[in-house]
Structure 1
Amino acid sequence: MTIYTCMPLELVFDGFNEQPGPYLDITVGEIRMQIEPLSPGIGKIVRLMDCPLDAYLRPELFPGSIIAYHTAT
């Protein structure tokens, strides 16, 4: 990989080796998804893992969308 930039490499590669997450796998109805918790009961969709094909076309389920969820206790 070749990178041509006038920026310092420290800025370009900042956070490159950090792991994302923590992620939760939740099921809402018939849709299993991976979310990044933002606060208790609120999360950002990372990806859909198991769902009907038409769920990928629903705008409220796009990656990056904010959803409310609850965990079973």
Structure 2
Amino acid sequence: MMLYTSVPLEVVLNGLNEQPGPFVDIAIGGIRMQVEPLSPGIGRIVRLLECPLDAYLHPGYTPGTVIAYGAQDS
């Protein structure tokens, strides 16, 4: 793959060798999603795993959105 950019190589490859995670799979309102925990009960949505197609259009389920979840949602 060729990448033509004016951005320095160090910036483009920054974080390439870092492992993402840990992630938690939770279900809220029938939507199963992968969340990156930020603090107890609060996390950032990484991606939707199982949901109806119209859930992808809901702004509250956008990847990067910070949500509150509890232990009973898992």
Report the TM range for the smaller structure's normalisation: 0.7 to 0.9
Inter-partner Cα distance in structure 2 for 1:12 and 1:66: 26
Inter-partner Cα distance in structure 2 for 1:6 and 1:62: 27
Q: TM-score, length-normalised on structure 2?
A: 0.81
Counting only pairs closer than 5 Å after superposition, residues 7-46 of structure 1 correspond to structure 2 as 7=8, 9-46=9-46
Inter-partner Cα distance in structure 2 for 1:34 and 1:12: 25
**Corresponding residue SS for 2:54:** helix
Query: Can you list the C-alpha shifts for 1:5-34, whole angstroms capped at 9, x where unaligned?
Result: 574x55543321111110000011210000
Decide which structure has the larger Cα Rg and report it: 1
Residue ranges of structure 1 left out of the alignment (5+ in a row): none
Q: What amino acid maps onto 2:21 in structure 1?
A: G
Aligned to 1:57: 57
Q: How many residues align?
A: 71
Task: Give the fraction of aligned pairs with identical amino acids, expressed as a percent.
Answer: 62
- The change in CA–CA distance for 1:52 and 1:3 in structure 2 (over 3 A counts) is closer
Residue ranges of structure 2 left out of the alignment (5+ in a row): none
